Structure 1
Amino acid sequence: MDYITHTHTHGETPTKPPPPPSPPSPPHSSCSSSGGYKGCERPWSSCPLQSSALSLISCSDLLHSLQLPTSSTSLLHTMAPGAKRGILERLNAGEIVLGDGGFVFALEKRGYVKAGPWTPEAAAEHPEAVRQLHREFLRAGSNVMQTFTFYASDDKLENRGNAVGFTGQQVNEAACDLARQVANEGDALVAGGVSQTPSYLSCKSETDVKAIFKKQMDVFIKKDVDFLIAEYFEHVEEAEWAVQVLKSTGKPVAASMCIGPKGDMHGVTPGDCAVRLVKAGADIVGVNCHFDPMTCVKTVEMMKAAVEKAGLKAHYMVQPLAYHTPDCNCQGFIDLPEFPFALEPRVLTRWDMQQYAREAFNAGIRYIGGCCGYEPYHIRAVAEELAQERGFLPEASKKHGMWGSGLEMHTKPWVRARARRDYWEKMKPASGRPLCPSMSTPDGWGVTKGDAALMQQKEATTKDQLRPLFEKADAKN
């Protein structure tokens, strides 16, 4: 399926989209014909009402404001950052790069990933499912197709009796091929990703852990991914080792830790983590997973401040959870008793995602995406919130009215009355669960690398090993 109609000729490099013009007059009595507001001399780009005014206009109005023909919405994508320019070229130009969402949770719910090991053999076992999810994120506005190689190291694929039926090389190669197939259908880059390893938790040597990353790198280089991501690291030391291996390839490197404001599992602050990663060679630093969007944005702000104070330069990324986690401790949502099978009441709405996108942008973060819990509609919401800055809407917005404007066509009048921004901004969704608490008590046992309980093994977990864990959990509850 073709998602994009390119207007440039092959061999030409599309230019960066021009700054968007002033939008059409929104329904404000004070709106001036110049696109600003009466009594305000500031240009539209710095007007404090820019975001709200944008959200008051329909998709067709936005197309008009961006000087795009409403009869050819496929042209929306031709204003995306130039096809196949590198990640650093885009970020250096000040462009917003949208990441994708969470694969392991999305595919687990669809029946293609097993909760517990969370390994990505679906790339080789069910390629059609992985390919379709890539396509949905592309259609929602993602500029990056991350290879589905989360936990694809050999030691993780074989951990605790996990029998996937494929080698690490087969899984990594299949994941690269799928990501490239879909990326070539649009204006997207392919990022090869590695994540934390059972070997590190089991106190294996730096040489042993780096050898694991090197095996994945060999595949990524063979498949010529566009850049590399070291993501989902709880310990900055292991993240540094990963960055050093990734940097040796000569490709751009992003490093993302799954930490909150309290820092990594050994208490290293977010700022110190970021400085160490930049010094190790990371071009982009940030956080992913474990915490909700606003907590993650706050954490990246701490990273950014420390990197700048150290006189270093980097770009910043954020790919948080799609769950509300105000009651988490330093290890994030994994410690919540609802993890992983009862998190649905915590899911953020699409309107929450628009607020997150704006906060991330205002914090100076330009690589904005999502992790566990993020579905394509969440990424579409991020793309729609930042449409004015990016100069275009994603293809999926053809089937979505800005701030519920599509409800104008509903048969029921009380639903038509919800076709407005202020209704959805004020909405506080009920859970429908009158006996459920609004907060939980985290279960964290205070263990980290080096603790006997975190030593990993190739053999399956035995009943004798599980029994004391059940007893400890029951005693705490």
Structure 2
Amino acid sequence: MTADSRTPPEPHDSQHLLSPAPQHHSTPPEVRLLDPNTGLFFPTAVGVGDSLGCALATPRLCPHGSARPSALSAGRPGRRAGGVRQFPARARTGAAEPQDRLPARFLRAGVPVPPQLQGSLVGWAMGILERLNSGEVVIGDGGFVFALEKRGYVKAGPWTPEAAVEHPEAVRQLHREFLRAGSNVMQTFTFYASEDKLENRGNYVAEKISGQKVNEAACDIARQVADEGDALVAGGVSQTPSYLSCKSETEVKKVFQQQLEVFLKKNVDFLIAEYFEHVEEAVWAVEALKTSGKPVAATMCIGPEGDLHGVRPGECAVRLVKAGASIVGVNCHFDPTTSLQTVKLMKEGLEAARLKAHLMSQPLAYHTPDCNKQGFIDLPEFPFGLEPRVATRWDIQKYAREAYNLGVRYIGGCCGFEPYHIRAIAEELAPERGFLPPASEKHGSWGSGLDMHTKPWIRARARKEYWENLRIASGRPYNPSMSKPDAWGVTKGTAELMQQKEATTEQQLKELFEKQKFKSAQ
């Protein structure tokens, strides 16, 4: 039983500062031992089936240069060790002393800690709630369906994750890029992997592959990559066609429970109910996942106006926490600025109800100030014309800082977020976390690597002031800066949202084309 399967301790106050998070471990599994002469933690290889007694070998540096100073012996700002810049940990108020810990895979392997090592190893691997309760910043991953669609492995429209079975190498590589960029949660690629979605509107996946195989493959890939670093695995569920088709609570929960069975079999570290437009369905998802005894996070794809039935963000958060979620927030549908406005409303709702929960934010990497209540899916550019709206790495650094200042400690991204966006989060919060991600060895802070460019006017851009103050042009002089969202005003309970197993017919499409023309002319 992991610590997270027990009743979690109360979350720390959101204003507590951070203790350094761990750096990545390489394969084979490693234990980091404290060198009393330098104050650095060094990894030593250990076989998974071995006792940790064999870890008394000479310390060595990780291939990624993951040795870093603890708060006991922090390096100077900008100092490099093993290719990764190190930062002194900031002063803490009420935070526990920083702890080094073993990779979570040692717990699963049942590796014992002999007495002679217990003085060197301060603590065990921590689960999601232990990390957040200690004040650690948890960095999520980015957008899988959009990234893999662009790479040719996901079909736009159904957005289903059969690539976990058909092209596991593509999914694995994207996980690895997010891990290298700084993510310490590998979320299973199970978005829209419910059985009813995999057979919706002519989708072949449920019949030819099966939802169980897709979910199992996604869990295996996420675990493999997580074990290459200090990352947790989160099993994820999302909104269902069954709910949109007005099926009962029992029927909808059964869909979630099918995925949950796989997550329990594969022993994911925690669970996420994400991408819900209706708080009612999100609550059902949380209640279903909570039966596992594992920690549950819940995020809704809503903006400041609330869910599509008019429930305000603060009330949504209250309902999710009462249902059993320990972490609440938003993901997708809105840009970072709008998403943080929504998280702030959720935070205020929880405070008013005297409820405690950790806050989470995983927004779009697109600028969407012209969205309406339903978010970017109503923009005429969705999904194939969004590129001019992509946020820069500097935009995302600003988002990370604002999220942190709001008290959000689980910070990641959704659609449009590429690994370099996640790296921007990790770099912005490096002073709080105590280290930079491995990917930063190929990225100079605020363009500092440009000082190596052959052209002098490019070298002149190797400074923060230049990039921080640049007003970025779109290169499209004849295009509008804003769009008019579609406003069909349909949601759960509307006939047009009833789903079907059969493929959409030509007649159904013709009727939709005519309605679109009518709406556009209004």
What TM-score do you get using the length of structure 1 for normalisation? 0.87
Q: Cα distance, 1:7 vs. partner? A: 2.6
Aligned 8 A contact 1:79 1:392 in 2: no
Corresponding residue number in structure 2 for 1:104? 145
Corresponding residue number in structure 1 for 2:56? none
- Cα distance in 1 for partners of 2:501, 2:202 equals 6
Pair 1:87 & 2:128 matched: yes
Corresponding residue number in structure 1 for 2:306? 263
Aligned 8 A contact 2:235 2:272 in 1: yes
Q: Cα distance, 1:166 vs. partner? A: 1.1
Q: Cα distance, 1:320 vs. partner? A: 0.2
Q: Sort the Cα spacing of 1:383 and 1:65 in 2 relative to 1 into closer, same or farther, 3 A.
A: closer
Pair 1:212 & 2:233 matched: no
Aligned 8 A contact 2:246 2:492 in 1: yes
Aligned 8 A contact 2:87 2:430 in 1: no
- Cα distance in 2 for partners of 1:254, 1:369 equals 13
Pair 1:335 & 2:360 matched: no
Pair 1:18 & 2:71 matched: yes
Corresponding residue number in structure 1 for 2:345? 302
- Cα distance in 2 for partners of 1:426, 1:6 equals 44
Pair 1:324 & 2:367 matched: yes
Counterpart selection for 1:224 from 262, 267, 277:
267
Cα offsets for 1:402-440 (capped at 9, x unmatched)? 000000000000000000001001112211111110000
Pair 1:458 & 2:501 matched: yes
Counterpart selection for 2:181 from 140, 145, 154:
140
- Cα distance in 2 for partners of 1:87, 1:431 equals 40
Letter in 2 for 1:230: A
Secondary structure of 1:429's aligned partner? coil
Counterpart selection for 2:162 from 113, 121, 144:
121
Secondary structure of 1:341's aligned partner? coil
Q: Cα distance, 1:153 vs. partner? A: 0.3
- Cα distance in 2 for partners of 1:464, 1:401 equals 55
Write out aligned runs for 1:371-410 (5 A). 371-410=414-453
Q: Sort the Cα spacing of 1:110 and 1:270 in 2 relative to 1 into closer, same or farther, 3 A.
A: same
User: Aligned pairs, how many?
Assistant: 434
Q: Cα distance, 1:162 vs. partner? A: 1.0
Task: Give RMSD over aligned pairs.
Answer: 2.3
- Cα distance in 2 for partners of 1:81, 1:418 equals 40
Counterpart selection for 2:393 from 350, 356, 365:
350
Q: Sort the Cα spacing of 1:451 and 1:386 in 2 relative to 1 into closer, same or farther, 3 A.
A: same
Letter in 1 for 2:388: P
Corresponding residue number in structure 2 for 1:423? 466
Q: Cα distance, 1:65 vs. partner? A: 4.3
Q: Cα distance, 1:58 vs. partner? A: 8.2
- Cα distance in 1 for partners of 2:477, 2:354 equals 52
Corresponding residue number in structure 1 for 2:199? 158
Secondary structure of 2:272's aligned partner? strand
- Cα distance in 2 for partners of 1:64, 1:210 equals 46
Corresponding residue number in structure 2 for 1:74? none
Letter in 2 for 1:390: R
Pair 1:360 & 2:382 matched: no
Letter in 2 for 1:151: Y
Q: Sort the Cα spacing of 1:332 and 1:326 in 2 relative to 1 into closer, same or farther, 3 A.
A: same
Cα offsets for 1:357-377 (capped at 9, x unmatched)? 000000000000000000000
What TM-score do you get using the length of structure 2 for normalisation? 0.80
Secondary structure of 1:423's aligned partner? helix
Unaligned runs of 5+ in 1: 25-56, 68-77
- Cα distance in 2 for partners of 1:350, 1:3 equals 27
- Cα distance in 2 for partners of 1:391, 1:430 equals 35
Any runs of at least 4 consecutive aligned residues in structure 1 with deviations exceeding 4 A, and if so which?
A: 1-6, 9-12, 14-17, 19-24, 57-62, 78-82
Letter in 2 for 1:442: P
Secondary structure of 1:360's aligned partner? helix
- Cα distance in 2 for partners of 1:353, 1:82 equals 31
- Cα distance in 2 for partners of 1:21, 1:306 equals 39
Secondary structure of 2:186's aligned partner? strand
Q: Cα distance, 1:97 vs. partner? A: 0.2
Secondary structure of 1:190's aligned partner? strand
Aligned 8 A contact 2:69 2:75 in 1: no
Aligned 8 A contact 1:106 1:375 in 2: yes
Letter in 1 for 2:148: L
Pair 1:201 & 2:254 matched: no
- Cα distance in 2 for partners of 1:466, 1:59 equals 59
Letter in 2 for 1:141: G
Q: Cα distance, 1:311 vs. partner? A: 1.1
Q: Cα distance, 1:443 vs. partner? A: 0.5
Aligned 8 A contact 1:384 1:393 in 2: yes
- Cα distance in 2 for partners of 1:471, 1:197 equals 27
Pair 1:275 & 2:318 matched: yes
Cα offsets for 1:417-470 (capped at 9, x unmatched)? 000001001112211111110000000200000101100000000011111110
- Cα distance in 1 for partners of 2:172, 2:236 equals 17
Aligned 8 A contact 1:81 1:187 in 2: no
Aligned 8 A contact 1:58 1:401 in 2: no
Aligned 8 A contact 1:59 1:402 in 2: no
Aligned 8 A contact 1:357 1:385 in 2: yes
Q: Sort the Cα spacing of 1:303 and 1:82 in 2 relative to 1 into closer, same or farther, 3 A.
A: farther
Q: Cα distance, 1:63 vs. partner? A: 2.9
Aligned 8 A contact 1:255 1:282 in 2: yes
Secondary structure of 1:7's aligned partner? strand
Cα offsets for 1:85-137 (capped at 9, x unmatched)? 10000000000000000000000000000000000000011000000000000
Q: Sort the Cα spacing of 1:298 and 1:86 in 2 relative to 1 into closer, same or farther, 3 A.
A: same
Counterpart selection for 1:63 from 75, 85, 98:
85
- Cα distance in 1 for partners of 2:175, 2:498 equals 34
Aligned 8 A contact 2:295 2:326 in 1: yes
Cα offsets for 1:206-234 (capped at 9, x unmatched)? 00000000000000000000000000000
Q: Sort the Cα spacing of 1:7 and 1:81 in 2 relative to 1 into closer, same or farther, 3 A.
A: closer
- Cα distance in 2 for partners of 1:285, 1:325 equals 22
Secondary structure of 1:63's aligned partner? strand
Pair 1:7 & 2:39 matched: no
Q: Cα distance, 1:309 vs. partner? A: 1.4
Secondary structure of 2:492's aligned partner? coil
Letter in 1 for 2:288: V
Counterpart selection for 1:183 from 203, 226, 240:
226
Unaligned runs of 5+ in 2: 1-23, 34-43, 47-51, 54-66, 90-97, 105-125
Aligned 8 A contact 1:193 1:230 in 2: yes
Counterpart selection for 1:441 from 484, 493, 497:
484
Corresponding residue number in structure 2 for 1:242? 285
Secondary structure of 2:85's aligned partner? helix
- Cα distance in 2 for partners of 1:189, 1:451 equals 39
